């Protein structure tokens, strides 16, 4: 079994994003983007070395199975609609939303095959076809391009345009999506 050279969970991005960051939801999303970046590097590593230790593969598949869909839902169901209401005409938010919705749809379309391949690798199957590994690499490449664009355009625009009320709404929705409850003082936070 092969393990990546650096075994530190934090550096590998294997530790789930701290839910305490939900107090500032855009920081949570930015941290999740860092996590996706690390996961993409790990997926590339795994696709090149299908004998990677199953524990590492399991943590990547857990991220792909639950955390990634939650993040995509945060952005497509909550963040982008809030921004559509708040942005200025020069922001061209409708165009931005169309592009990002399409990229999120592509990620969710590619996800089941990627997950099936990760599950097969985790189970130690040595007959995973190269075509499946290729699709897995494509999935990571798509996510990586997507997060670079969001970090460059979406996050700075959200920080500039969303009001404290918008951020409260976003925090409440993201908290609820993860089955957590908000503390009263967070509700009252500006």
Closest contact distance (angstroms) between CB of 46 and Fe ion is 22
Question: For residue 43, what are its two tokens?
Answer: 């997926």
Closest contact distance (angstroms) between CB of 104 and Fe ion is 6
Taking the C-alpha atoms of residue 23 and residue 4, their distance in angstroms, rounded to an integer, is 33
φ, ψ for residue 52, nearest 5 deg: -50, 145
User: CB under 5 A: which stretch of 42-50, 74-82, 120-128, 159-167 binds Fe ion?
Assistant: 74-82
Give yes or no for residue 74 binding Fe ion (CB under 5 A): no
User: CB under 5 A: which stretch of 18-26, 36-44, 70-78, 79-87 binds Fe ion?
Assistant: 70-78
Q: Which residue is nearest to Fe ion (CB)?
A: 75
Closest contact distance (angstroms) between CB of 42 and Fe ion is 18
Question: For residue 40, what are its two tokens?
Answer: 């993409």
H helix intervals, the chain: 9-12, 25-48, 54-62, 68-73, 80-86, 93-122, 130-149, 155-161, 164-177, 184-188
φ, ψ for residue 6, nearest 5 deg: -100, 115
Indicate the residue among 131 and 148 with the shorter CB distance to Fe ion. 148
> 180: exposed, middle or buried (C-beta count within 10 Å: 0-12, 13-18, 19+)?
exposed
Using CB under 5 A as the binding criterion, the count of chain residues that bind Fe ion stands at 1
Among 32, 74, 75, 166, binds Fe ion (CB under 5 A): 75
Residue appearing with tokens 């945060």: 74
Indicate the residue among 75 and 122 with the shorter CB distance to Fe ion. 75
Indicate the residue among 12 and 143 with the shorter CB distance to Fe ion. 143
Taking the C-alpha atoms of residue 174 and residue 75, their distance in angstroms, rounded to an integer, is 10
Query: Per-residue x/- mask for Fe ion, residues 19 to 58, rule CB under 5 A?
Result: ----------------------------------------
Q: Which stretches of the chain bind Fe ion, using CB under 5 A? A: 75
């Amino acid at each position: 079994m092969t393990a990546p050279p650096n075994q530190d969970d934090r550096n590998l991005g294997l530790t789930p994003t701290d839910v305490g960051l939900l107090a500032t939801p855009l920081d949570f999303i930015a941290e999740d983007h860092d996590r996706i970046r690390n996961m993409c590097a790990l997926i590339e590593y795994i696709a090149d070395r299908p004998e990677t230790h199953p524990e590492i593969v399991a943590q990547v598949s857990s991220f792909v199975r639950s955390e990634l869909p939650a993040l995509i839902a945060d952005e497509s169901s909550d963040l982008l609609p809030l921004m559509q209401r708040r942005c200025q005409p020069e922001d061209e938010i409708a165009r931005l939303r169309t592009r990002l919705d399409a990229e999120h749809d592509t990620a969710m379309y590619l996800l089941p095959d990627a997950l099936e391949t990760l599950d097969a690798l985790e189970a130690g199957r040595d007959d995973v076809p190269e075509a499946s590994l290729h699709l897995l690499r494509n999935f990571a490449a798509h996510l990586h391009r997507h997060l670079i664009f969001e970090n460059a355009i979406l996050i700075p625009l959200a920080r500039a345009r969303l009001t404290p009320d918008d951020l409260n709404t976003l925090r409440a929705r993201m908290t609820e999506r993860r089955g957590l409850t908000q503390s009263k003082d967070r509700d009252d936070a500006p």
